[in-house]
Amino acid sequence: MFKAIFAALTAMTLGSSALAQADKTDAPRWSIAIHGGAGTINREQITPEQDRTIRSVLAKALAAGSQILEDGGTAIDAITATIMILEDDPNFNAGKGAVFTWDRTNQLDSSIMDGSDLSAGAVAGINGTKNPILLARAVKDHSPHVMLSGEGANQFSREQQLDQVSSDYYATPYRLQQIEDLLAEKVSAADVDYKFGTVGAVARDSQGHMAAGTSTGGMTGKRWGRIGDSPIIGAGTYADDRSCAISATGSGEYFIRLGVAHEICTRIRMRLPEAIREAQRAVPKNADGNDSYVIHASEFRLSDAEVQQIADDVIAELGALGGDGGIIYATPWGQAGYSFNTPGMYRGRATSEGQQSVSIYGDEE
């Protein structure tokens, strides 16, 4: 009876886009979303073979994270495993296949955050570590700090006995050609990275905990120790059990200025109590003029449409500043999705409700 009354009140007073009732089932709920970069990605610039290859590795990474969550594993473990697969694939700008700096070196960045306790770890300007996401996680788990950089981070990696690689491990013919073209002034820094980019993953596990992680080689031709948004907690990565998990990709300077990851999570967290108050005002009164029942936060969730609108609004503000890129999100209510203002974004998502997709172009689901 209560559910029927609630559904009717919600439809009448809030509209379908504002609020939805939380499912009260015993089935564990989980969700995961991944990305492999956003940019000028359209069918004219991607060969059929590249299309198949990228979809295959995205599906592989998505399946790895999904299996961990399906087996009752933690969100932090799921995103770590997912990002490692993307770091190991030379098609992306993270780990193997990372871009080159102006000095023809590699400087990689990564971060990870656990929404259950807001613990986080990040590294910037590193090299020598095979999987930067593991170093970011080691900073979170085994150091008193949140961010390490440069040679100090490299030293910490060796002390943690993480897999080390030589400098030529990251190099691929594609990335070498990119830096040569840039240095020869055949292309501009703004145009060189139009395909494969930063990787990331976000998840909600069956215990309701959130996690987010991001890994990148940064910007082709970057100079002077430039650091983008990927290792900055609140800009490129953020997770909070009260709101969402976010991983970003794109023009990092703009994501930093807007604090995109934290901004989206904050808007979601602040919107929920406001929506509950709106619903409470629609509750019928009893004979004494009091509310016939009190709505509890556990009975509510923001709808798919409202979560998407919040993400889209922040990305629109990013665009208004001049920034390009996108984000993936997961919420405490099991939703997983993305928002971007570029022609395409390598992305995928899966949920315990059976949703599963891998996409590239802007006109795909």
Domains of the chain: 30-360 (3.60.20.30)
SS3 state of residue 66: helix
pLDDT at 5 over 80: no
* Mean pLDDT, rounded, for 167-174: 93
Strands (DSSP E) found in 62-146: 108-114, 119-126
For residue 57 the two structure tokens come to: 């590795």
The answer to whether residues 233 and 120 touch, using CB atoms and an 8 Å cutoff, is yes
The angle subtended at Cα 358 by Cα 325 and Cα 198, nearest 5°, is 35
Burial environment of residue 55 by CB neighbours within 10 A (0 to 12, 13 to 18, 19 or more): middle
For residue 154 the two structure tokens come to: 């490299």
The residue from 10, 74, 82, 198 that is catalytic is 198
The angle subtended at Cα 161 by Cα 135 and Cα 134, nearest 5°, is 20
Closest CA to 196 of 47, 43, 40: 40
The answer to whether residues 124 and 147 touch, using CB atoms and an 8 Å cutoff, is yes
Nearest-angstrom CA–CA distance, 316 and 242: 24
Look at residue 12 in the predicted model and tell me its pLDDT.
Answer: 34
Q: What is the mean pLDDT of the chain?
A: 89
Nearest-angstrom CA–CA distance, 72 and 231: 28
Q: Is the pTM of this model over 0.85?
A: yes
* Mean pLDDT, rounded, for 165-194: 81
Burial environment of residue 63 by CB neighbours within 10 A (0 to 12, 13 to 18, 19 or more): middle
Helix (H) or strand (E) holding 245: strand 244-250
Active-site annotation holds for 198: yes
pLDDT single digits (tens) 318-340: 999 999 999 999 999 999 999 99
pLDDT single digits (tens) 195-242: 558 999 999 999 999 999 999 999 999 999 999 999 999 999 999 999
Nearest-angstrom CA–CA distance, 160 and 113: 19
